[in-house]
Homo-oligomer: A and B are copies of this chain.
């Protein structure tokens, strides 16, 4: 089964926005075992969209078209699809009523051009809209006797993602003759390189390759670590989850020491959960990261029941006055220790986490760029760790965030 992707929008070609839709779709298709061999951006031009769809269908089994389903005169994906199918557009009464209701529910009058979105090519099936006003379309096309299919979905990412998961992928799999359920599980890791993970998982990967299901992929996520993703295909949800559970255990046997979370968990959400379970409050003292750790933690909804605050002690005098750091080099284990203790006292919290280091461009206190000291004060004990991180400024600072949180995570787990 091959399904290519077409992203419609002149603003994509002009570089005014990034096409992240075809990347997301490519990831879903790969996980579903569907080949996607060309992904194309095209502008809002009827002749070019039509020609591109015809050419793509000649080579593939299916094509997913994103964008161009809105209400304005620029939105011509429907017209191009009707041209490729060789049919007319007609007004779908149900869709029209649905759009009018959406406007009414927001207390707004529907501009007349919104009814363009109720225009449907003859023979197409509707994918009902649940988030925006434009429905998606499943459009069978006869190409030299074979039935191929165009899926049209909106360009708004969350509307597109909803329709692809709810309607497009199941339809694609049904057409491929596979009545399978596909489920993924992602183990998030920190502290091991991709080649290191690969080596440690060698035996597991060899056995997976033999069985062919689930598949295992490494996804590098920069300063968010490396994800190990298992994707299982099975006749039922239960069977897929059972497969995932069994192989997750195998993967963990080999690399569990570097797994910090699963699926949507982040390092900060994991640390907050561990603190919450232990009924511990958290305060920070940040120097090199200048507030980045606090900013990340407070982006987790519900952080306020654990997180008390932070002292961003960028100037040395602030370290000394508010955190009682002794005079002397501020990129040092002594400073990190004093900062952690100072944060715990000043913010009246159970755990103080401190970061001091050198982000560059030049060295400081005779310490090279990339040096990070992490201090942890917990239950009247204080300890520090010295790390050496790669990169300059932005990268070094971001790596410091996740590295310091990982130090705290390991300590909390070790204490049980």
Where the two chains meet, the residues of A that have a C-beta atom closer than 8 Å to any C-beta of B are 12-20, 22-28, 30, 36-43, 45, 48, 52, 217, 219-220, 284, 286, 289-295, 297-299, 301, 303-304, 307-315, 317-318, 321-322, 346-348, 361, 393-394, 397
Residue in contact with A37 in the complex, picked from B13, B393, B397, CB distance below 8 Å: B13
A291's partner among B28, B298, B317 (CB-CB below 8 A) is B298
Task: Determine the chain B residues whose CB is within 8 A of the CB of A42 once the complex forms.
Answer: 37-38
CB distance from A408 to the nearest CB of B (A): 16
Say yes or no: B41 contacts A13, CB within 8 Å: no
Chain A interface, >50% SS class:
mixed
18 contacts between A and B (CB under 8 A): A12-B39, A13-B26, A13-B30, A15-B27, A16-B27, A16-B220, A19-B19, A19-B23, A22-B41, A290-B295, A294-B312, A298-B314, A309-B322, A311-B311, A317-B348, A318-B347, A322-B346, A322-B347
* Contact across chains for B14 and A27 when beta carbons are under 8 A apart: yes
Q: Which residue of chain B has the shortest Cβ distance to A4 in the bound complex?
A: B13
Partner of A14, one of B26, B40, B312, B322: B26
Residues A15 and B19 in contact in the complex (CB < 8 Å), given A297-B290, A309-B318, A322-B346: no
User: Is the beta-carbon distance between B48 and A37 smaller than 8 angstroms?
Assistant: yes
| A289-B295, A298-B290 known; A30 vs B14 contact (CB < 8 Å) | yes
Check if A313 sits within 8 Å of B309, measured CB to CB.
yes
